[in-house]
Structure 1
Amino acid sequence: MQDITPVNQIPRSLPMRKKKDKLSLFVTGDVTIDWNIAHISRESHDPSAWTGAESCRMSWQFGSAVLLSDLITSMTNQLKVYLPYTVDVTSTHTTPASTIDPYDTCYYHCYSVWAPYRDKGAPDTIVWRVERFLGLDRSSKIEPEQHKSDGVTAGPEHADIIVIDDSNLGFRDQPDHWPVAIKEPGSGKNGPWIIVKMSQPMAEGALWEHLIAHFSDRLIVVLSINDLRQSAIQVSAQISWEKTALELIWELTHNPMINRLTHSAYTVVSFGPTGALLLPGITKHESPKLLFDPLYMEREWPAGKGTIIGKTSVLVAGIVREIMMAKENPDLTKGIQSGIAAMRYLHKAGYDGGTDSSPRLRFPIDGVIKHLKSDEPPLAMADCPIIDDEQHAQPLSWTILRDRYYDDLEELSQRIVLEGATAALKNIPIGVFGELVTVDRQEIESLRSIHSLISEYCSQQEERPVSIAVFGPPGSGKSFAVKQIARAASPGKKIAEKTLTFNLSQFKSPADLIDAFHQIRDVALSGKIPLAFWDEFDTSLDGKKLGWLRFFLAPMQDGEFQQGQLTHPIGKAIFVFAGGTSSSLNEFTKSRKQKELVEAKTPDFLSRLKGFLNVLGPNPQLSEGRDDPYFIVRRAILLRSLFERLTPQLFDRNHFLRIDIGIMRAFLRVDSYRHGSRSMEAIVAMSRLGTATHFNRSYLPPEEQLGLHVDPLSFTALVHHLELREELLEKLARLNHKLLYDNLKSQGYVWGKVNNEKSNPKTHSLLVSFAALSAHNQEKNRAAVRDIPNKLAAFGYAIVPMRNNEQAVEIPIPELKEMAKLEHERWMEAKLADGWKYAPETNKEKKLHALLVDWEQLSKEVKDKDRALVSENIPLLLKEAGYTIVKLAQ
């Protein structure tokens, strides 16, 4: 039964229009017969054992171009009420006159074994997917005469859309089979759109040469990353979306093996249900676009085991749909999104298996088409840079996080704390490893590399330990990170639940290692893989720096340790060496003299490592000139996890954290935590939150207790940061003007239309009430008030609530001078932005001012006035608001 949406439920993106023109669509290409062997799992585990309970059935369906044709034809039938024209779909293939059998030489035959899998969301539901591909019978050789006898058509003379399935089964090199509509060269927008579903080898053959020569401006190539990787290219997998995208763009642009693909109008590379890359051709002035799942990379989508036939065909159908909807100017990203939505359904649902115990498998065409009409994009999208040879050497220069939120990191971080990372970060890549969450690209890549290393090691028969080093500042979470990665990478829970931790700074002699190795060996003998955490491995031994390293060389290399005359095998194990003195591997090697490293056997030790990890922690990492604006995001993720673990009662039913905005601001913006993440956890634990359902300021620990973990004045100042909301801002702006008014009055000024210091009495145009000021001059007072916290912060001062009428700290003269200079510069910027210019004589009507000069050119009298305004007005304004000034610790 066709799934046709009622007229009153037509999606917004598909408006009904008056039918007028006719659109011709032709589908052609290689054709296969897909033989699907449905296998019911045997009772016996012995594959050579025969039982009557064994069951399988073989069914067939047309694949490749015919499957694509059937899908597009059905899709068009269901879309016809929305389209602005009628659509005539024809195909290269008609129903064969004879019955299909595996020996039919008119077709290539593809064989695959299908198995029933349990749906993760509904364990009682059977889902049929491909367990393994058996191969392709290439014994056939399809001759033109056979096609003619089978009723094959070369299509209409003029087509608007041509879809070609090029599976490298002969069609690309047989011009007699090509559509009539591509025999004559196209001409710009009058030519047909040509979508080629391409298989390995890429961009080769007579068909490709013909299309590039005559139809390149309307040619769209669709292929899979798996096919592309069979070429001589290097594109990483499951490291980070940014790295994969940049490497793929570089290969497609510069690698002579495949860069001819960019001669087409667009190239679409599919990563399966989790992503795709849209690369414009060399004649386009557009950025490449990466469509990606923020949580999962390729081969990570958690929809169940097995694979499926027809994924790329579904993606092509989505692109064809978009071209039909907007033929002159299609948005291919929309087509890719709808194709991926349908691809996800196809994998989740599997093939239709019928109802009897011996299924006849069929492509679920109705369900796929329903999801092709989805208006909910399943993927996030980001514009990618075009990279040249020089940029290729610096792959870390681009991050999606930077592009999206570089100027809004604090707001983003607040949303993470309040809503959670996955809710707040729906359009950037997120690395999730158990309870460890990160959005920093460099950290994601390091964590994924270690995850892959451990996962691969667990699946191998290797009986020697694998060794990894972890670096980071104290309290950065090194132990937590490694544990979470190991748990996430452990297939079938092979890694022991309990981590064996050994702090070498507490060992007295190398003999203590023997007991540690025995503990590790005992776990290995139990059938589990021990996770051994060697903390502070870089500590000294008997006064020798890095003295412990030499004692790990044999266990790391040979998987053995010596006890007296006996040699004991350690077995399969994961050794994690955590540094206590260096924040990174580079610092570990660069901060020591080469002679010292050699004497300690450091090169030998490093050569035995299979990987390393630099854990950044919650404090900014500014060593080696590194820019680290994302520390605030790391803090936000850590803070959210701390509240989830320690104070779950602070969350409402929608998982929104109930916390005072000032407390959250202080946690996120305080300069540093003395003991890293341990300090963040301590402050939460020290707060009186036992039964609290909202984290109010009164629950914070006293300042002297805060001093154990942060600069207490800085933290408190951030908690009580002056929030210049509308009512308070207006009050202080009025007061700021009144202070100027009183100052002018005290100097003998009277109101005048123009400012004139030479008249008697002197006149000033601002000698009016605040309400009588122009809107522009009122806003100038508000701007001056808004700038007060910034001016004070620049010199290490903070604004805190006043207690018991305490006096503001007295600001030293040198700092007053600099503050006055900043105020003058702010005033000048505002004037210049408003169109004022310098003149020896001030003229308000002509927007000319005599004081539009550098600070050094001002007279002493004017400078003294500015300093007096800073030293007197700021404390008075803050006192009126109930605040005072304090000096923060250096």
Structure 2
Amino acid sequence: MAVVVREEPPVVVVDGDTTVDWAVKSAPECCLTSEERLTAESSGHWLWGGAFLLADLIDGAVGRTALVRGVPHGEECPTLDSPRTHHSFNTLQELPLDEETGKPTRDAKWRIGSFVGFHPQGNLDRYALPQLSEAEKKRLSVYVINDSALGFGRSSGPWKDTWKDIKGHADGGPWVLVNLRLGRGESKDELWDSICNGVRVSGPSSMSRRLIVVTTVDSLRSAGAEISRGLSWEKSALDVIRELKRNQALGSLRYCPRLIISFGPAGVLLVDKCIDHPNYELLFDTEHTEESWVRDHSAGSMFGYSQALTAAIAKRLIDFAKPPNRAIDTDSLERLHSKLCDGIEYGITCMHKIYDLGFPDPGDAPSVLRFHKDCMEEPKKKETNEPPPAPRIGRSIVRDYDDMSNWSILGEKYSGRDPLRVAKDIARLGPSYLQDVPIGEFQKFLSVDREELEALRAVQNLIAEYFSDRHKKKPRSIGVFGAPGDGKSFAVTEVAKSIEPGKSREALTFNLSQFDSPDDLIGALHQVRDRCLAGEVPLVFWDEFDTSLDLAELGWLRFFLAPMQDGTFQEKQVTHHVGRCIFVFAGGIYSSYESFLRKADDYPNAKVVDFASRLRGYVDVVGANPRPGQIVDLRVQVRRAILLNSFLSRAGIRESKGRKEIDEGVLEAFLKIPRYLNGTRSMEAIVDMSRLRKGSGFGRSALPPEVQLKLHVDASRFLDLAGRFA
């Protein structure tokens, strides 16, 4: 009879800073009187955080495939005066709340309502790790350290003995995975210094090959790195790369052979110096940036994002390292890179689950808080024809050239393909056809153009910050430029709506080309003031603000200086305050901010510079035409394809297996025509003038006659393109 030898599982050791995260369960109603204070039920709960939580999450991820040895915490309620943990204090609420009733909605989850404060222990009396047997030491696969810059790295605890053992291994030693929060320089982190020194002196040996560091972009910012917040994934990634190279405060990270930088649940940047091809790979939520994810998930917050990502990577490391302590050859470096990317994608999914699931109902009695058991569950593999599960995670190599101002993930992903074929597929299938590409969705306005997206998100941040800060009493002024018909007002309106999706915000619009004198402007400002006095924060569009007044070019600008700067306007001898509002100045003549600013020298009396200095932001809306000096390339054709898909959906074009039925030549004409005379408006007009019925296809015979096409395009060229496949 054959004897079955059971293979012993690999061992994972987890150590580091330990915290207890306290959460007081609070009722949605506020206590207004001392009597109500005695009847509003509440209870206290605690989450084992830091290295405790990291060990628990790794244990939940690996199951029986590995043996996890972490700092023990037990089930009993910890004491607030315990010298062995740090303590954070929070409120626990069922969120979101219904705006009308003030009670939790039907889909509410238990999450952290607010952060109250943090109490660090000055001299931490550390927990001792369980002792490993000699057999377990031989199976040690991954050593995970949670270094939150809270004293673990400065203590004289057992980490020093363990560290000696780790760096004493030959090339077959355990992996070292560090979840790192950078300190602010006020105290020395001996552990991190030891790791860095080990990498410097080891060269290509065990330490440099087997070290992986996980940190957060907020940790880099706290250390002094200048990294933009959620304007575009391209800019965020390039900012990180620049700061890692140039910022002395991040000098220790330059020695890391593999560095994983988290943007929270929205994305992660992997820096891998152990492979030959490009070292930077970005994995990201295609529908969100770092900032927009936080804005769209504002119904409370959660702990443990960084620990969940580290746990997911630890699981992939264990899978890669079986059997434990095997040497790393050159061929395996590529496979490891792939495993890390897979682990990061798994980690992003887990971070999303932590927020989406919240905490299980903790009950009314004091008890321990736990994450849902499913939060570290492996993502299910989708069938071929199924849509990708949420979140939709994209991947892109990030190039590191001297001039990356025009680099985009869109261009990176589709550089080797026929741009016209890509655009045709988007027009027929919709923007969801774009795989691994960031899509900026502001309610009904979509964009994939990096430059436009960065400007729109900067404006979105300006408006959101103004809405939330009630201390700001003067109008906030934003400029919007673009060719006539490119949808400037529509773009900014949708951006404003995206900040508070459920809130109705009707814009006030005034066209200055229809005003006869400054008296008309006074009347308009009174309408704005009335809305402000009613408690609104209106969005006010000043269309064609760059039109002339009494034959004076840009003559209206000087009348806006006082309302923009001081928030006041003069009516005879009376000074009125405008109130809290957003001024949006939409140009009708100048297609870009730069072309508008160049007029300062031509019209010195127009106060162009004074006006521009009062703007707090601007955006150049692109539309259906190329920018000046550009050609109809991939970016232009993709923009047109997204617009056309929207217009065809509105027209009710027939679909077959999800593809809109439009003639190949007609589609090519829409995408390749060099210029639309009135931008996006012309493109929409051609669809509108075509002889289309709901449920019909779009053939060449449905196009409007040439005399009508001349209103919007070079008609002969358009028809020539449309007839090429006849």
The normalised TM-score by structure 2 is 0.87
**1:511-660 correspondence to structure 2 within 5 Å:** 511-590=519-598, 592=599, 594=601, 596-623=602-629, 629-645=634-650, 647=651, 649-652=652-655, 656-660=659-663
Letter in 1 for 2:94: P
Amino acid at match of 1:500: L
CA distance in 1, matches of 2:33, 2:411: 54
> Does structure 1 residue 719 correspond to structure 2 residue 722?
yes
The answer to whether the 8 Å contact 1:119/1:304 transfers is no
The answer to whether structure 1 residue 89 and structure 2 residue 68 are counterparts is yes
Aligned-pair Cα RMSD in Å: 2.9
| 2: CA distance, partners of 1:568 / 1:94 | 64
1:385 aligned to 2:399? Answer: yes
Tell me, in whole angstroms, the C-alpha distance in 1 between the residues paired with 2:50 and 2:606.
62
Distance in 2 of aligned mates of 1:47 and 1:349: 34
Q: What is the aligned partner in structure 1 of residue 512 from structure 2?
A: 504
Secondary structure of 1:233 counterpart: coil
| Larger-Rg structure | 1
Tell me which of 452, 476, 499 is aligned to 1:466: 476
Counterparts of 1:286 and 1:53, CA distance in 2: 62
More displaced stretch, 153-162 vs 164-173: 153-162
Q: Does 1:73 align with 2:79?
A: no
Contact 1:29/1:165 (CA < 8 Å) preserved in 2?
A: yes
What residue is the counterpart of 2:489 in the other structure? 479
Structure 1 residue 118 displacement after superposition? 4.7
Tell me if structure 2 keeps the 8 A contact 1:476–1:676: yes
Partner in structure 2 of residue 806 of structure 1: none
**Which one-letter code corresponds to 1:318 in the other structure?**
A
CA contact (8 A) 2:632 2:674 kept: no
Q: Say if 2:33 is the partner of 1:28.
A: no
Does residue 197 of structure 1 match 2:179?
Answer: yes
In structure 2, C-alpha distance between the alignment counterparts of 1:165 and 1:237, rounded to whole Å: 25
- Residues 69 and 130 of structure 2 are in contact (CA less than 8 Å); yes or no, is this contact kept in structure 1? no
Task: After TM superposition, list the pairs within 5 Å mapping 1:745-756 onto structure 2.
Answer: none
1:308 aligns with 2:302: yes
Residues 1:136 and 2:118 are matched in the alignment: yes
> Of residues 263, 283, 288 in structure 2, which corresponds to 1:271?
263
The whole-number CA distance in structure 1 between the counterparts of 2:10 and 2:88 is: 33
Match of 2:452 in 1: 443
Kept after mapping to 1: 8 A contact 2:480/2:621: yes
Residues 350 and 299 of structure 1, relative CA distance in 2, 3 Å threshold:
farther
Deviation at 1:216, TM superposition (A): 3.2
SS at match of 1:34: strand
Q: 1:276 is matched by which residue type in structure 2?
A: V
Match of 2:43 in 1: 57
SS state at 2:367 partner: coil
Following superposition, the deviation at residue 689 of structure 1 comes to 1.4
SS of 1:190's partner is: coil
Alignment partners' CA distance in 2, 1:506 and 1:22:
79
Structure 1's 343 and 119: CA in aligned 2 closer, same or farther, altered over 3 A?
A: farther
Q: How far is 1:52 from its partner?
A: 4.0
Q: CA deviation at 1:452?
A: 1.0
Contact map agreement 1:106 1:140 (CA 8 A) in 2: no
Whether the 8 Å CA contact 2:358–2:372 is kept in 1: the answer is: no
Tell me the TM-score normalised to structure 1 length.
Answer: 0.71
Task: Return the letter of the residue paired with 1:127.
Answer: K
User: Aligned pair count?
Assistant: 679
Question: Which of 28, 39, 42 is the equivalent residue of 1:41?
Answer: 28
**Counterpart position of 1:182:** 163
- Kindly provide the CA deviation profile for residues 28-49 of structure 1, in whole angstroms up to 9, marking residues without a partner as x: 112223323222323x463876
Q: 1:602-629: CA deviations, max 9, x gaps?
A: 1111111111111111111133x78964
Q: Secondary structure at the match of 1:196?
A: strand
Cα displacement (A) at 1:176: 3.6
Question: 3-state DSSP class of the match of 2:584?
Answer: strand
Cα gap change, 1:510/1:205 in structure 2, threshold over 3 Å: closer, same or farther?
same
Cα gap change, 1:593 to 1:200, in 2 (>3 Å):
closer
SS for the counterpart of 1:663 is helix
Helix, strand or coil: the match of 2:588? coil
Q: Which amino acid aligns with 2:155?
A: Q
Query: Aligned partners of 2:173, 2:278: CA distance in 1, in Å?
Result: 21
Distance 1:693 1:510, change over 3 A: same
Render the CA deviation track for 1:292-323: whole Å, top value 9, x for unaligned. Answer: 01111124334551111222111111101101
5+ residue gaps, structure 2: 99-103, 199-206, 322-327, 383-388
Q: 1:318 and 2:312 equivalent?
A: yes
CA distance in 2, matches of 1:546, 1:571: 25
The range that moved more, 532-541 or 287-296, is 532-541
Structure 2 CA distance for partners of 1:294 and 1:466, relative to 1, 3 Å: same
In structure 1, which of residues 161, 184, 190 is the aligned counterpart of residue 142 of structure 2?
161
Give 1:529 shift: 2.4
| Alpha carbons of structure 1 residues 583 and 629: separation in structure 2 relative to 1, 3 Å | farther
- Is residue 2:434 matched to residue 1:452? no
- One-letter identity of the residue aligned with 1:309: F
Q: Distance in 2 between matches of 1:366 and 1:340?
A: 16
Q: Determine helix, strand or coil for the equivalent of 1:209.
A: helix
Shift of residue 374 of structure 1? 6.6
Amino acid at match of 2:238: L
Aligned AA (1:659): I
CA–CA distance in 2 between the matches of 1:213 and 1:252?
Answer: 18
Whether 2:204 is the aligned partner of 1:220: answer: no
Equivalence for 2:703? 700
Unaligned runs of at least 5 residues, structure 1: 1-16, 81-86, 723-800, 802-890
2:86 aligns with one of 90, 94, 108: 108
Q: Deviations over 1:761-797 (max 9, x none)?
A: xxxxxxxxxxxxxxxxxxxxxxxxxxxxxxxxxxxxx
Q: Any conservation in 2 of the 1:560–1:570 contact (CA below 8 Å)?
A: yes
Q: What is the distance in 2 between the residues matched to 1:522 and 1:35? A: 47
